[in-house]
């Protein structure tokens, strides 16, 4: 499935959800204190949605999408 190429800019909003998941360890690497180095305990989702132009003048130079 291919999306058509969009040339124009459209106003969008964004919100982030973090959902806990059952803890899962990846590999056998450990930190200096002996704790596992790679552990998954939550998954983050950025949700983009259409909005109306002019609702907010606040602009973000970046989105902090890496929580941990």
Residuewise pLDDT in 10s, the chain (68 residues) = 787 887 777 788 888 889 999 999 999 999 999 999 999 999 999 888 888 776 655 666 555 555 44
Q: Which residue has the tokens 């132009």?
A: 53
CA 50 to each of CA 4, 47, 68: distance values in angstroms, whole numbers, following the listed order: 17, 10, 28
Distance CA 56, CA 51 (A): 10
Q: Which pLDDT belongs to residue 68?
A: 40
List, in sequence order, every beta strand (DSSP E) within 1-68: 12-25, 39-50
Q: Report yes or no on whether pTM surpasses 0.85.
A: no
CA distance 33 to 1: 47
């Amino acid at each position: 499935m291919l999306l058509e190429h969009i040339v124009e800019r459209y106003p969008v909003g964004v919100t982030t959800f973090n959902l806990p998941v059952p803890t899962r360890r990846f590999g056998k690497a450990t930190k200096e204190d002996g704790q596992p180095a790679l552990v998954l305990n939550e998954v983050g989702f950025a949700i983009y949605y259409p909005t109306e132009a002019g609702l907010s003048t606040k602009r973000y130079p970046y989105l902090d999408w890496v929580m941990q």
